[in-house]
Structure 1
Amino acid sequence: MKIALVGCGAVTQAVYVPLLSRRRDLFEVVAVCDLSRTLADAVGDRLGAPDRHTSLHEMLAGGGFEAVLMLASGSHGEYVRQALAAGYAVLCEKPLALTRAEVAALPEGRLMVGYMKQYDPAVRRAEELLAELGGPGVIRSVEVSVLHPSGESQLAYANLTQARDVDAGLPASLRAAETALVSEALGESAPESVRNLYGVALGSICHDLSLLRRFTGSPTEISYVEMWGPAPGSIEISGPLPVQGRFTIRWHYLEDYPAYRETVTIHHDRGSLELVFPSPYLMNAPTTLTVVSGGESRTEWRDVTEAFEVQLAAFHAFVNDGRPPLTGADGGLEDIVTAQRIAACYAVQHDLPMGGEAA
């Protein structure tokens, strides 16, 4: 399948380039696009892509491919809209967008939202075991803990190509556009603390929201939100699960912490299912599933199959065979709504102004 890449930054270089290089049985990258011609050339050279662009509009008009991998940072809503309107299938990295309105504006088309943890073999195994136990109705609680070092420390090994050829005014205009979208989501008067919370919810905690969607369904209520420490700091979120039980998410940005660590534990009446995720940038590092059952029995389960690679194969099957993705536009919208509920709950608790869609 001939594809194009949009965005040639850290995740593309560290994750997608090596995976696409070894999955040439599924994909041929024929075009790349980035604001930086340096990055477009670096990624294009590594993947053998003949067409390099700094304009999405020009790349889409030029064609020659069937699908687009939307890997740029920030909101993807407008870029996805353009690609779908041009008739291309799209795999969009999270988050799909920053506002509900952006999702509502998307035309009909083939869209898959990339939450690679949903495709992790350990997660799929946990889903199977939970179904055997009786599904969401047996869950007492879901407890999430994320210890998040700086992105620079997580990617220090990757020897990334840096962009130094983009006009300084262009990133500033893009940041202004993102600020306007966040104002649309939260209201013009939303303070910086609420905006930062919303950014973390859609930029990182959304992975845990995507797992809740798989295990229990999206939360329909947020009961409590607190933040502390220097921004982005530490965040705690809790509320009821849609069937029964409650969830708690504790997310900590710890710039110099030795290594990324994410733990998701499902407690039920007869035991627990615990998932421990490594850094997402380490290819084929296995997630550990620990099953705690009767008689204090503990069984560990691992699979070195790379979740990002399974996700890419799922996108290929979606486009060619019509096999539905685990998350489409509806799931992406659910996570935006939940993130807005999180921001609104914090604003109400602290008597802060809140408007826009989240109101």
Structure 2
Amino acid sequence: MTEPGKRIRIAVAGLGIIARTVHLPLLQRRGDLFEIVALGDLSPTRVVELGGRYGVEPGRRYTDAAAMLADGGYDALLLATSGSHGELAAAALRAGLPVLSEKPLAYTLAEAARLTELSGGAPALMVGYMKQYDPAVAEAARLLDEWGGAERVHAVEVSVLHAGGDRQLAFANLPPAPADVPPAEVARLRAADAALLDAAVGADPGARTLYQILINSISHDLSLLRLFTGAPATVEHVATWPLTPDGPAEPSVEISGRLPGGARYGIRWLNLPDYPAYRETVTLHHARGSLELVFPSPYLLNAPTTLTLVESHGGGERRAAFRSVTEAFEQELVAFHAMVTAGAPPLTGIAEGATDVRTSQQVVRRFGELTGAAIGGEAASS
């Protein structure tokens, strides 16, 4: 742990979309808290380009994340590589480095258990659920607490209109994907992830696709449920369906069940590649009214989330809106800095990340029970 308020040296592994559009610009913006001192990516082109843009010395630009970890010379690691982050996060914790890991933290509960053991129980890893740090989410949590907390919630409804990546990222003018990533390394990483998927949910293609949607996207909504009401107590209904018979490979997903206090939740994640823009709505209904959060595309920095309060007032209805342009990803980085320098626990650490993995596996297991799909691995008994 470094001293509170100190500017920390950070390394970034994985220079894809989320690093380019969000993490690197914000780390640079918050130069009062962070200094980018090392970058790693499989693509030499990306490492050279972004190393030059962010002032990273040529000797600190890596095409091998393991080599970057072995060299050290920094105070913390941001993991934005694709697939499971369990292996690299474990290597970082062994080296005594605090980690900010993009989701998914891991594919398996076994990976999460290993991370728990390596952390020694100290706040050493934050999972990147930036929506938990959104000012509108914090205000919703405050209002809910004023009204008596989670036990006053009657139902939670989540709707995600998942527009295609080209729709979400058109504003960013990103360069084409580099062609210099070594095919053998790509094949090795894909094989490793495939083995982890086998260990998590088994070999059924539909179960594997559902699980990846859960841990890569719907996990954000599971994290909000944990924050407001606690993780789902049951998973009772699960359905997937394609947009059209010859449509995109990823289906839409519907999940529902009971929350710890007896309330109900419903999540509808709709894969709509040609929808004009990403839109996510999370609504909490309680005895006195409703709290509705509308999230913009996560890649649009400082685009406000809108919180609308609806409640009874004087025999009628009162509506009030809350918005803030304070960036949730930036607040997440500030919280990570506090974890590294002062030991402040993150909203989602290893234990909470493992809870989301377990819930996702329970969803897959219920999917198997309802459809007859053969579920294996941890999900068969989670």
Tell me, yes or no, whether TM beats 0.5.
yes
Separation of aligned partners in 2, 1:348 and 1:112:
33
Q: Deviations over 1:50-89 (max 9, x none)?
A: 1100112211121110000011111000010001101111
From 244, 260, 266, give the equivalent of 1:242.
Answer: 260
SS in 1 for 2:324: coil
1:47 equivalent to 2:54? Answer yes
Q: Which amino acid aligns with 1:200?
A: I
Separation of aligned partners in 2, 1:8 and 1:47:
12
SS in 2 for 1:353: coil
Separation of aligned partners in 2, 1:42 and 1:81:
28
Q: Which amino acid aligns with 1:209?
A: L
| Corresponding residue for residue 278 of structure 1 | 296
Q: Deviations over 1:188-238 (max 9, x none)?
A: xx3211110000000000000000000011112100000111431211000
Moved more, 226-235 or 24-33: 226-235
From 330, 339, 346, give the equivalent of 2:367.
Answer: 346
From 113, 126, 144, give the equivalent of 2:158.
Answer: 144
1:2 equivalent to 2:23? Answer no
From 86, 95, 100, give the equivalent of 2:104.
Answer: 95
1:210 equivalent to 2:223? Answer yes
| Corresponding residue for residue 195 of structure 2 | 180
1:60-139 superposed matches below 5 A: 60-106=69-115, 107-108=118-119, 110-139=124-153
1:169 Cα deviation (Å)?
2.5
Moved more, 35-44 or 138-147: 35-44
| Corresponding residue for residue 235 of structure 2 | 222
Q: Which amino acid aligns with 1:41?
A: V
1:160 Cα deviation (Å)?
2.1
| Corresponding residue for residue 28 of structure 2 | 21
Separation of aligned partners in 1, 2:207 and 2:335:
35
Separation of aligned partners in 1, 2:268 and 2:276:
18
Q: Deviations over 1:80-115 (max 9, x none)?
A: 000110111111111100000111112126111110
Separation of aligned partners in 2, 1:48 and 1:16:
15
Moved more, 305-314 or 169-178: 169-178
1:355 Cα deviation (Å)?
1.5
SS in 2 for 1:344: helix
1:2 Cα deviation (Å)?
0.4
Q: Which runs of 5+ in 2 are unaligned?
A: 1-7
1:296 Cα deviation (Å)?
1.5
Is residue 136–residue 244 contact of structure 1 (8 Å, CA) maintained in 2? Answer: no
Q: Which amino acid aligns with 1:126?
A: A
| Corresponding residue for residue 5 of structure 2 | none
| Corresponding residue for residue 41 of structure 2 | 34
Is residue 17–residue 46 contact of structure 1 (8 Å, CA) maintained in 2? Answer: no
Q: Which amino acid aligns with 1:234?
A: S
| Corresponding residue for residue 4 of structure 2 | none
Separation of aligned partners in 2, 1:249 and 1:300:
23
| Corresponding residue for residue 3 of structure 2 | none
Moved more, 107-116 or 197-206: 107-116
Runs of 4+ in 1 over 4 A off after TM superposition: none
| Corresponding residue for residue 185 of structure 2 | 170
Separation of aligned partners in 1, 2:70 and 2:241:
47
TM-score by length of 1: 0.98
SS in 2 for 1:173: helix
Is residue 42–residue 182 contact of structure 2 (8 Å, CA) maintained in 1? Answer: no
TM-score by length of 2: 0.92
1:152 Cα deviation (Å)?
2.4
1:155 equivalent to 2:169? Answer yes
1:357 Cα deviation (Å)?
0.4
Q: Give the count of matched residue pairs.
A: 357
From 198, 201, 215, give the equivalent of 2:211.
Answer: 198
Q: Which runs of 5+ in 1 are unaligned?
A: none
Moved more, 323-332 or 158-167: 158-167
Is residue 79–residue 99 contact of structure 2 (8 Å, CA) maintained in 1? Answer: yes
Is residue 146–residue 251 contact of structure 1 (8 Å, CA) maintained in 2? Answer: yes
Separation of aligned partners in 2, 1:58 and 1:103:
23
Q: Which amino acid aligns with 1:266?
A: L
Percent same amino acid at aligned positions? 54
Separation of aligned partners in 1, 2:329 and 2:48:
23
Separation of aligned partners in 2, 1:42 and 1:214:
38
From 308, 315, 319, give the equivalent of 2:329.
Answer: 308
